[in-house]
Amino acid sequence: GSVHVEVRLAVPVDQLYQLFLDQHPEERAHIDRVLTDRYGPDAPLSTAAAAANPAALSAEVMHASEDPVQRLHNEIEVLVYNAQGLPPRDRTDGQAPSTYVHYQLLNFQDTFTPAISDTFDPVYEHKERFPFPTNPAMLGLLTEGMRDGGDGPCLELTVLDDIEDEDGDPHIGTARVPLAPLCEGDEIHARLSLISSSDAMVGTLRVVVRWRHPFATEADAGPDALSARDVSTLLNRFSPVQDGQVHWKAFLGWVQPTLMVKTALERIRQFVERSRITKGLNADEIFSGINDHFTAQDLVSTSAQWQLGVTADEWTAVFNHLDVDGFGSVARSELIKYVGSKRFYEAQLEAKVVAHVQGLRPGTVQALFEAEDTQGSRRVTREQFKLVLKQIGFKLFEEPDRPALLQVPDRRYDGAPASSPLGADSPLDLRRETEVLDPEYEQAMRARKDSE
C-alpha cells in the first residue's frame, strides 16, 4: 500500500518572513540597500512587498552579486497549463473526471497541481520552480545517457483522477518530455500525448519547461564580447543575399527601434508568447492570414482579426521599421523573424547587442557605418562591419575557418584594392553584380541612382 502525507506551515510563509525582518533590522537594511542600488530610490520592490514575495526578493539579492558562482545560480520553471480530451471517469456513465497532475523533476520533491473538478478539459496553470545551478556538472545531468544513444532524462507527468473509491483506478495517462533543450538555454513548449496503462491515447497535456532567469554558463563571453558564433550569426542575418556585403541599415534598425516600434513589437511578442502557451500556436500560424509579401495597408487591414490592441499608426510604424530599403513591400517571413519566439541563444545575442548599443551616445553607430559606406549603398563589407563592432567597444573572438569558396576577396583580380567585396569598381556597378544581387534590391538601387 501507500501513504500520502502533507506537511504544511501553521503560519503562512509571508507572515513568517515579515516576522524575520522585524526581528533582524540589519537584514531589512541590507535588502533595502540592494534594491536601491539596483533600481535607485524608486525601487519597485519595497521591503514590505518583498516580505509577501520572498522568491522575488531572493532573485534580486542573488543578481546583485558578482560572484561567478552566484552568476550561475538559476531555477528551472515548470508550468503545467492544461489538459484536453480526457476520458470519462472509470466505471461511470460518462462522468467528467476531477484531475490533478503529478511529476518529479529529476531528484527533486514530488509535485502535485491542484485538482480541477468535473471537466474533460481542465486548466491547471500551475507553476513550480526548482533551484538548479548551470555549472557543467549540473547541466550534465540534463543530457546524461544521450551519448549512448538514449533520449536523456525526461520529465514524466501523470494525470490522475481525484476519486474517493478505493477500488477505482486513479491513473488516467502519462506523458514524457525530454529535458536536453534546457542545456542550450531553450524553452520547452510541448503538447504531449497522454498514454494510458493500456497504451491508448487518452488526451493531451500542454506544459512549458524553461529557465526562470537569463541562462548563463562558465563559457559565456561576457556583455562586451562577441564569440565566433555571435559574429557569424550577425553576418548571416544581415547578409540576406549572401553576396559578401552586410546591410548595416537593417542592423541599425534592429538595435535601435523607435519607441513606438519598440512598444508595438513588445505587445505583439507578448501576444505570440501567450498564444504559444495557451493554444500551442507559433507566429507563423498566428499570422498565416497575411500575404507572403504585404504592404502597409495590407498589414493594417489584416491586423483587426488579431485584436492585439496595436493601433493603425503603430502597425504602420512596424511596417516601415521592417521595410528598411523602402520597397513598399515586406516579406511575411521578415515579420515572423521579428515577432516570433526565438531560441534562447538568438534572444540572448539580441539582448546583448541592443543593450550595448543603447549605452552609446545617440548617432554614434550610424556615423561609424556611414564613414565606411562611402557609396551610400547602406551596405558594407564583412570586414568593415566587424571593424565597426570593434569601434563601438565589442571584443571579437576569431571567426571559425570558412571554406575557400566562401572567402571574399580583399583585392581585385588585377591586384588593385577592391572597393566592393566582389571586386567590382563600385557597389552600385549593377552590370557586374547582377548575378549576386537580389533583383528587387537591384531595381531599387538603379532607381535611386537615376534620381541622383
Percentage of the chain modeled with pLDDT above 70: 73
Longest dimension (CA), the chain: 90
Strand partners, 190: 207
> Amino acid letter at 274?
R
158 pLDDT more than 90? yes
Same domain (yes/no): 192, 230: no
| CA distance linking residue 171 with residue 159, whole number of Å | 7
Same domain (yes/no): 199, 325: no
| CA distance linking residue 95 with residue 114, whole number of Å | 19
| CA distance linking residue 345 with residue 342, whole number of Å | 8
Same domain (yes/no): 370, 429: yes
User: Measuring CA to CA, which residue among 318, 312, 310 is closest to residue 337?
Assistant: 318
Q: From start to end of 302-419, where are the E strands?
A: 330-331, 379-381, 395-396
User: Measuring CA to CA, which residue among 189, 194, 193, 180 is closest to residue 207?
Assistant: 189
| CA distance linking residue 261 with residue 318, whole number of Å | 5
CATH number of the CATH domain containing 189: 2.60.40.150
Same domain (yes/no): 231, 207: no
Same domain (yes/no): 381, 423: yes
Same domain (yes/no): 203, 238: no
Mean pLDDT is highest, among 117-126, 295-304, 350-359, 421-430, for 117-126
262 or 439, higher pLDDT: 262
Of the listed ranges 48-62, 116-130, 195-209, the least confidently predicted one is 48-62
Contact, 436 vs 422, CB < 8 A? Answer: yes
Element (H, E) at 18: helix 13-23
> Amino acid letter at 201?
M
Same domain (yes/no): 124, 207: yes
Q: What is the pLDDT of residues 363-420, one digit of tens each?
A: 899 999 999 999 988 899 999 999 999 999 988 875 443 333 333 334 333 344 433 3
Same domain (yes/no): 137, 254: no
- The set of residues, in sequence order, having a beta carbon less than 8 Å from that of 428 and lying 6+ positions away, is 375, 377, 445, 449
Same domain (yes/no): 59, 89: no
Q: Mean pLDDT over residues 88-103, rounded? A: 89
Final residue before a domain boundary, out of 64, 84, 101: 64
Range of the domain at 24: 13-64
Contact, 319 vs 310, CB < 8 A? Answer: no
Same domain (yes/no): 203, 312: no
Per-residue confidence (pLDDT) for residue 405, from 0 to 100: 31
pLDDT confidence band for 196 (50 / 70 / 90): very high
95 pLDDT more than 80? yes
Q: Mean pLDDT over residues 254-272, rounded? A: 88
**Looking at the domain assignment, is residue 216 inside a domain?**
no
Question: How far are the Cα atoms of 88, 89, 120, 162 from residue 92, in angstroms, in the given order?
Answer: 7, 6, 14, 14
Q: Mean pLDDT over residues 313-330, rounded? A: 87
Question: How far are the Cα atoms of 246, 390, 391 from residue 386, in angstroms, in the given order?
Answer: 10, 6, 9
Same domain (yes/no): 46, 153: no
How many domains are there within the chain? 3
Whats the size of the chain, residue-wise? 452
Q: How large is the angle between the packed helices 248-255 and 382-391, nearest 10 degrees?
A: 30
Of the listed ranges 98-102, 159-163, 217-221, 259-263, the least confidently predicted one is 217-221
Of the listed ranges 111-115, 351-355, 438-442, the least confidently predicted one is 438-442
Q: How large is the angle between the packed helices 25-39 and 54-64, nearest 10 degrees?
A: 70
**Looking at the domain assignment, is residue 220 inside a domain?**
no
Per-residue confidence (pLDDT) for residue 205, from 0 to 100: 95
pLDDT confidence band for 226 (50 / 70 / 90): confident
